A and B are shown apart, each in its own frame.
Chain A
Amino acid sequence: MATVRDPVVVPGDVPSLELVTRYVLSVVDGLLTPPAVYRMRLAADEVATNIVTHGYAENDRTGVLEVDGGADGDRVWIRFRDSAPPFDPRDRCHAPDLAVPLARRPVGGLGLHLVFTMLDDFEYEREGDRNRNTLIMRRDPAR
């Protein structure tokens, strides 16, 4: 049976990230195992942080972040919509070069690397003038 939680809309800024985390936890707590809850929280935090710091702030834009979530069969999902310039995180994800010593490591790209490592599935779509990112975890007790 599908369940969908009412969306929340928050300002696209750093102080709102805590509200996003609270919402995400309220959706996935009880639907996923505690380690999977942690992974979804982390991936959602990284995606939301990316939208507010890169999508909005670095482009001198302001806007809102709309979040909803739910479960559908074995899929537990969290979805973000924002009106920042088009950005498909799948184009920017590259694994960090583990051979480079930490002292010489560039700081970019870590968050998105975590997103794709944590999640079972990720979907991006440009929806009119908005970005839509969907984060998916599978309900599989074996994991």
Chain B
Amino acid sequence: MSFDATLDMAGRTATIRLAGSLDTATAPMFREVIEQASTGPLELLVLNMENLSYMSSAGLRCLLFARQKMGEDTRVMVLGANPEVSRTIRLTGFDQSITMSRHVAD
């Protein structure tokens, strides 16, 4: 199962694009990219999940890590998650601390 996480920084916005399967084996790679993104002050962290096909609880723990790593002033947004990934995030109540957006234009 392949996985990829790439980071783009633009001013005070960091965007991490995720692709493939986010699970126990691939989560450490995502955590590393979250660490890189958290080095400067951020207003917004966008997690673009349009190409993410699968996410287990290992991925949820990464979201928790991202939320805890970023200061309270940083908004964390999940973008374009598929219905199954979205459901997993909502089931655990993570959508109360993370903005969920279906489309890039939202």
Q: Is B98 an interface residue (CB 8 A)?
A: yes
Query: How long is the Cα–Cα vector from A115 to B24 in the complex, in angstroms?
Result: 15
Residues of A within 8 A of B88 (CB): 42, 114
Contact with A along B60-82 (1 / 0, CB 8 A): 11011001100010000000000
Q: How many residues of A contact B (CB 8 A)?
A: 26
Query: How long is the Cα–Cα vector from A14 to B25 in the complex, in angstroms?
Result: 6
Main secondary structure of the interface of A (DSSP, over half): helix
Q: Are A35 and B84 in contact (CB under 8 A)?
A: yes
Q: Are B92 and A113 in contact (CB under 8 A)?
A: yes
Query: How far in angstroms is the closest Cβ of chain A from B28?
Result: 10
Q: Is A66 an interface residue (CB 8 A)?
A: no
Q: List which A41-55 residues lie within 8 A (CB) of chain B.
A: 41-42, 45-46, 49, 53
The 11 listed contacts between A and B (C-beta, < 8 Å) are: A38-B54, A46-B57, A49-B58, A96-B92, A98-B93, A102-B94, A102-B98, A105-B64, A110-B60, A113-B92, A114-B92
